[in-house]
Amino acid sequence: MPVQIKICQPLLHKITTVLSFVCFLSFGNTAGAATVSSLQNDDSECSFLLEGEIKAGDAEQLSKKFGIFYHQVNRTIFNSPVYVCLNSPGGSLLEGVDLAKVIIDLGLATRIPENSVCLSACAIAFMAGSFFHPEGDGGSSTVRTMHPTARLGFHAPSLTIPQGQYNEVSVEKAYNVALQAVAAVSDLRATNVIQEFAESIFITFLRTPSSTFTYIDTVGAATRLGVKISPVPVFDGKLGAAVSNLCENAVSRYSDIDIEKDWGRIQNKADFLANNLNVDGSEIVYDDGFFIASEIVYNGGFYEEGNVSCHIKQYNISKGIDYDFRVSFPYGGGTFPGYQNVFGSSATYPPTTLISELPIASKSQMMTKVKLTDTIPNKRSSLSCGVAGRASKIVNVQKFTNLRRQAGLNGQVISQVPLGATVSVVNPGNFLRYDRCAATCNGTNQTAIKQCIDNNDVWIEVDYNGRRGFLSRKFLE
């Protein structure tokens, strides 16, 4: 069946009542082209619905129908994303590429609604979802979401050869068409037409036979693609875990690192998180008023030797829009594009969580936002420069920390100790420290002690796999 596109324009700021509740009606005569039909406003989450098999000519029809509609109204009125819903088993991959270009040109966000699928060519079109804010800096934001009951799947293009025409010419023609499709998708990524198409998942797309699908079925995989699962409430597990999950998922997205396979090991630093959270209430000024943003700083644990902090800002401006969390890593891992720093509540779950097992939030839950600052424990365990126990665990690092022959960051590296590993403390309670921390380590000022530890000014002698050396107190629990 051809693609069927239903357009329903819900009420948007400054649009007349007629345009808000009445949709445009048009029928294309091209075989396999998109059919545009009208319907009354049904309180849908999307303004447009595209469903059915994607065939040649659909992108052209979309460009004409949608383009005419959008150019008839003032684009600056759209101060929030306008969504096109997708429900398609796929079809022509080359046409899917053209659909992606149309969606980008129109600045449409994409969504896979409840109990819908978006496979093959549809998945490529879905990846084009974006939003151009009229008061922004001229750039676009990645905006693509899917319902927890929806399915998103990729696979490589197939060789389509007509029945009974299995000759050299037909096979070569089909092969060339498949290569053109792969090249077209690669070009979308290379020219950044599609933002945030993670290389690891793109390679998986190429390696997945056309007879099957690679489904984006976990929170980690979806986050790496810049896809938010919605409506989903904020993770309500162990205190502080929502913050830890968000920071780890952000690392995965920014650096295209598959952290799911190592999640059990990475989780070992989650307990350390509760003692390393700072909260700072900041006032953010916008042209249309003042809004309060709370900032959470997770001190250390990321990039290099775990010296880089994770900063989360949560703005108190959303009303039913899953658009709250901005994550950054100042001074670490390079400068990340602005369109990558917005995360939804689904990213507060462990990356290994199956999308199909995420809880579905009610409208009232989405309207009542949970503040991440509320998940931070009020009580923090007492810190000391020494380690009292005979054994200690490596925490607060991304992958490993260095065991050094001498205390200090200038000490010779003699081994690497991975996150979660257990080391033997040579003299429990004893430590080496820089002179500037002498008085602090003998005192009780928790803030000052923490500062010395965070600055790598305190070192502990340990034994790991028969090697004796020194580790920064910062990385020992």
Closest CA to 47 of 26, 69, 32: 69
Q: Are residues 158 and 285 in the same domain?
A: no
Q: Flag whether 165 is in a domain.
A: yes
- Residue 226: is its pLDDT beyond 70? yes
Q: Flag whether 381 is in a domain.
A: no
Q: Are residues 47 and 141 in the same domain?
A: yes
Q: Flag whether 234 is in a domain.
A: no
- Residue 240 confidence class, pLDDT cut points 50, 70, 90: low
- Predicted local distance difference test score (pLDDT) of residue 271: 54
Q: Flag whether 428 is in a domain.
A: yes
Q: Are residues 342 and 306 in the same domain?
A: yes
State the sign of the Cα–Cα–Cα–Cα dihedral 103, 48, 1, 57.
Answer: negative
Do 292 and 316 touch, CB atoms closer than 8 A? Answer: yes
Q: Which residue has the higher pLDDT, 22 or 103?
A: 103
- Residue 462: is its pLDDT beyond 70? yes
Q: Are residues 30 and 166 in the same domain?
A: yes
Closest CA to 122 of 80, 93, 163: 93
Identity of residue 127: M
Q: Flag whether 224 is in a domain.
A: no
CB atoms within 10 A of CB 99: 30
Last residue within a domain, chosen from 200, 216, 232: 216
Task: Looking at mean pLDDT, say which of 33-37, 86-90, 303-307 comes out highest.
Answer: 86-90
* pTM across the whole model: 0.68
State the sign of the Cα–Cα–Cα–Cα dihedral 446, 448, 452, 455.
Answer: positive
The CA–CA distances, whole Å, from 277 to 120, 239, 252, 450 equal 42, 11, 21, 11
Strand bridging mode 458-464 / 308-315: unpaired
| CATH number of the domain residue 162 falls in | 3.90.226
Closest CA to 350 of 202, 232, 215, 241: 241
Average pLDDT over residues 26-51: 51
Do 294 and 371 touch, CB atoms closer than 8 A? Answer: yes
- Residue 208: is its pLDDT beyond 60? yes
Last residue within a domain, chosen from 182, 216, 250: 216
Q: Are residues 164 and 254 in the same domain?
A: no
Q: Are residues 299 and 415 in the same domain?
A: no
| CATH number of the domain residue 467 falls in | 2.30.30.40
Mean of all residue pLDDT scores within the chain: 74
- The model's pLDDT over 39-73, given as tens digits with 9 standing for 90+, comes to 334 445 777 788 888 888 877 777 776 665 555 55
Structure tokens at 80: 């929030």
Give me the domain span that covers residue 85. Answer: 4-216
Tell me the residue ranges of DSSP E strands in 382-466.
391-393, 400-404, 413-418, 422-425, 432-433, 458-464
At CA 342, angle to CA 336 and CA 346, rounded to 5? 125
- Predicted local distance difference test score (pLDDT) of residue 305: 66
Q: Flag whether 469 is in a domain.
A: yes
Q: Flag whether 221 is in a domain.
A: no
Q: Flag whether 211 is in a domain.
A: yes
Q: Are residues 421 and 363 in the same domain?
A: no
- Residue 339: is its pLDDT beyond 70? no
- Predicted local distance difference test score (pLDDT) of residue 284: 47
Burial class of residue 387, CB neighbours in 10 A (0-12, 13-18, 19+): buried
Q: How far apart are the first and last CA of the chain?
A: 60
Q: Are residues 366 and 400 in the same domain?
A: no
Overall domain count for the chain:
3
Q: Are residues 283 and 169 in the same domain?
A: no
Closest CA to 342 of 365, 317, 360, 367: 317
Q: Are residues 176 and 286 in the same domain?
A: no
Alpha carbon 54 to chain centroid distance?
27
Q: Are residues 176 and 302 in the same domain?
A: no
Q: Are residues 370 and 335 in the same domain?
A: yes
Last residue within a domain, chosen from 375, 403, 431: 375
